[in-house]
Amino acid sequence: MIVTPLTGRFGAEVTDIDLSGMLTSEDLVAIEDAFVEHSVLCFRDQELTLEQFEDFARQLGDFGETPFITPMADHPAVLRLLREADEQGPLFGSGWHSDWSFQDQPPSATLLYGVDIPPAGGDTAFISQALAYETLSPVMRGIVDGLNGVHSARRSYGPRGTFGRHDPARSMEIHGDESALRSICHPMVRTHPISGRRSLFVNEVYTIGIEGMSDDESRALLDMLFAHSRRIDLSCRVRWQRGTLTMWDNRVTQHYAIDDYAGHRREMWRITLAGERPQ
């Protein structure tokens, strides 16, 4: 297994390993260590069936819960992220976010496998929220350390959300409902359970406020943190190929699906792994 950094700060490409079968304990330890170090791992040239994709994920942890979206038939942990060539409307996964941060226990990791990939476009961009926290001033770190963010799925899956209404022209079956209006508080700075590294835990899609602050106060501070996190030197980018499997750590990253492949079909398989309540 060869691990090659994608940037000088985080993210790595992994080659010379076959994920289609059961891995040795040494391989699993190497993957887990690389994952903690790099936060985003991009495995190239993998020929996986749906069952092999699930088997690989199971070796890393338990499956997470997936709300609002109908999974693949007979595979309740797998989402088929499909966008046909002529499809219109908002792209699933666009906007900076950490997957399902509105859950009591958001997923630790997400795995995404490229099945049908456009000739160009459709990259996924990532931000290191650990680097974002570490590059704040000491004064600002002291402020955000004691605050809780309010997270909710309402903007995406509420009755008036981006995906809140049924769209028969959409390839993915997304069914927002009233349950998306629920909100939950998580620390705005969380500690990684393995590395102990501190990172921001707020995102533009699901963080709707700050506990104990007015809307105006919350918006001012969150907008500053969002702008700071988007710094180009805190980012990396994965260009997809058929057979690429990318996994990312939702506890220390945000990601953004780039919508720049109109006229081309794109199909991915996605699994999330169960996480813990942020602390």
Three state DSSP letters for 19-34: CCCCCCHHHHHHHHHH
* Nearest of 260, 257, 258, 240 to residue 115 by alpha carbon: 240
Cα–Cα dist 37/28, whole Å: 14
For 95-149, write each residue's pLDDT tens digit: 999 999 999 999 999 999 999 999 999 999 999 999 999 999 999 999 999 999 9
In the annotation, is 99 catalytic? yes
In the annotation, is 270 catalytic? yes
Q: Tokens standing for 122?
A: 């459709």
Q: Which of 80, 155, 255, 266 is catalytic?
A: 255
Which domains does the chain carry? 2-273 (3.60.130.10)
Strands (E), 97-165: 109-116, 124-128, 148-152
Q: Which of 99, 154, 186, 190 is catalytic?
A: 99
pLDDT of 56: 98
* Nearest of 207, 205, 204 to residue 187 by alpha carbon: 207
Strands (E), 97-252: 109-116, 124-128, 148-152, 183-187, 189-191, 198-200, 207-210, 235-238, 245-249
In the annotation, is 228 catalytic? no
Q: Which of 97, 154, 190, 198 is catalytic?
A: 97
For 186-215, write each residue's pLDDT tens digit: 999 999 999 999 999 999 999 999 999 999
For 210-266, write each residue's pLDDT tens digit: 999 999 999 999 999 999 999 999 999 999 999 999 999 999 999 999 999 999 999
In the annotation, is 242 catalytic? no
165 band by pLDDT with thresholds 50, 70 and 90:
confident
166 band by pLDDT with thresholds 50, 70 and 90:
confident
Q: Tokens standing for 252?
A: 């220390």
For 30-61, write each residue's pLDDT tens digit: 999 999 999 999 999 999 999 999 999 999 99
**What is the value of pTM for the model shown?**
0.97
- Listed in sequence order, the residues at least 6 apart from 147 whose beta carbon sits closer than 8 Å to its beta carbon are 187, 188, 189, 210, 211, 212, 213
